[in-house]
Structure 1
Amino acid sequence: MRNAIEFEVFGSYALFTDPLTKIGGEKLSYQVPTYQALKGVVESIYWKPTLVMIVDEVRIMNPIRMESKGVRPIEYGGGNTLANYTYLRDVRYQVRAHFEFNMNRPELEYDRNEHKHHNILKRSLRAGGRRDIFLGTRECQAYVEPCVFGEGDGFYDKYEEIHLGTMVHGINYPDETGRNQMEVRLWNPVMKNGVIRFPRPEQCTQIRPISSMKPKHFDSTNLLSVDDLFAELEEVDKR
């Protein structure tokens, strides 16, 4: 696929929180990663507002195991609450994703250099990402490395179809949809022989509005060229 990358992401724990379990202060992970969580991993490898990252599919490599922990949430008003969080343990996923240009950002049209961004994305992946990688929540540190999607043995390779019920697919932001509101997408994933194929965000039919929101606009007032950035750094060094 055009502008695609294939990588493996793995870690000791993951927490893809089912929002229904957060009402009472507890957290319970979905059995598999959400589209939005994997999109976050791709954007931690390389992100530019010029691009929209699309996650195509994920392959579940390790058996789904869960582990509960007693956690003390941060309470800024004081208190000594003990909450129960249920994590996925010893996770490993193969992911295939690609990028497209964000057509809702005409002010960044000058930056639509496909070859440049694809090469930077691949270099960033080989380096382990530009930002910290985590799976679902910040405490679940993870690591990425290039792979060939489909290679190696996965635990669910011969499990045929497993229906996973209703899950959050991801979040619609106004800079990607052109609508001035934040929305949540729901879907009913099916894992077939260990692989989950994601529909594109615009193909999801179960959409719920969350709140009004306007996209951030990038122009000369908040977007520096490389020359301007170096000039500012030189001024800082002189002080």
Structure 2
Amino acid sequence: MQYENSISMQVYGRYALFSDPITRVGGEKFSYPVPTYQALKGIYESCYWKPTFTWVIDELRVMNPIERQSKGIRPIMYNNGKNDLSIYTYLSDVCYQVRAHFEWNEHRPDLEKDRNENKHYAIAKRMLERGGRRDIFLGTRECQGYIEPCIFGLGKGHYDDVSSLDLGLMEHGITYADENGKGVMQERFWHPVMQNGKICFCRPEECEIVRDIHPQKMKTFTLGETVSDCDDLYREVIQK
């Protein structure tokens, strides 16, 4: 389903690391075969974000073959500040088409006056054309990414002819206190299946496996003080 405020982008980069939390216990990192919902949401938020709304990821299209490359990394140990030796397994030469839309955050009544769909949609498209408002990372800081507008479904994808590919149990994302209104941070898991190169994401509230992480207080914002209304930027966009 395509929404009126849908934004489609092409995401690509030389390396990506959407790390499986199971492999991080011993200091190693091993990437999931595809981006998580949370990673893609973070990319959209790097393009344009306001606490007034929440990005909802709808679909992902895998354009390049899933290939991995391992590297020896010397991370800093937390207990003594010395270097350690770990093996990180990255995805290489990644390219995706992603489609998402935004919805008002109903747990933010303090920002109700900022709910101008045309304004946020126009600014989001403007930021996408310029490569995002902030730097784009593909899962982790050392994996620089790039975004640009695209038409979702256009072009040949590597897995277009693969009818079904089960990806097993994966992390879906993290739900913060201002997104669930429960005063607790939660972690979600799901079981994705890629069909003809596409993954249709379930909504966060539809995930069957949810685990509470810890209590969390919702941050308070004041429109025009702690958060900008972006009205000046919107006027600049519509004038051009």
- Give TM-score, length-normalised by structure 1: 0.92
Give the 3-state SS of the residue equivalent to 1:156 in structure 2: coil
2:222 aligned to which of 199, 219, 224: 219
Unaligned stretches of 5+ in structure 2? Answer: 230-240
- The higher radius of gyration belongs to 1
Aligned to 1:97: 100
2:153 aligned to which of 136, 140, 150: 150
1:62 aligned to which of 41, 61, 64: 64
CA-atom RMSD, angstroms? 1.5
Give the 3-state SS of the residue equivalent to 1:11 in structure 2: strand
Please say if 1:35 is aligned against 2:32: no
Give the 3-state SS of the residue equivalent to 1:154 in structure 2: coil
Q: Deviations over 1:81-135 (max 9, x none)?
A: 1100000000000000000111100000010001000000000000100000011
Corresponding pairs, count: 227
Give the 3-state SS of the residue equivalent to 2:120 in structure 1: helix
Structure 2 counterparts to residues 202-217 of structure 1, below 5 A: 202-217=205-220
Tell me the distance in 2 between the aligned counterparts of 1:53 and 1:103: 13
Structure 2 counterparts to residues 1-239 of structure 1, below 5 A: 1-75=3-77, 77-219=80-222, 223=226
What amino acid is the match of 1:159? V
- Aligned residues: percent identity? 59
Aligned to 1:236: none
Give the 3-state SS of the residue equivalent to 1:6 in structure 2: strand
Greater mean alpha carbon deviation, residues 214-223 or residues 59-68: 214-223
- For the Cα contact (< 8 Å) 2:221–2:227, is it kept in 1? no
Give the 3-state SS of the residue equivalent to 2:65 in structure 1: coil
Q: Deviations over 1:15-62 (max 9, x none)?
A: 000000001110000000000000000000000000100000100000
Aligned to 2:236: none
Question: CA, structure 1 residues 224+155, in 2 after alignment: closer, same or farther (shift >3 Å)?
Answer: closer
- Give TM-score, length-normalised by structure 2: 0.91
What amino acid is the match of 1:150? G
What amino acid is the match of 2:64? N
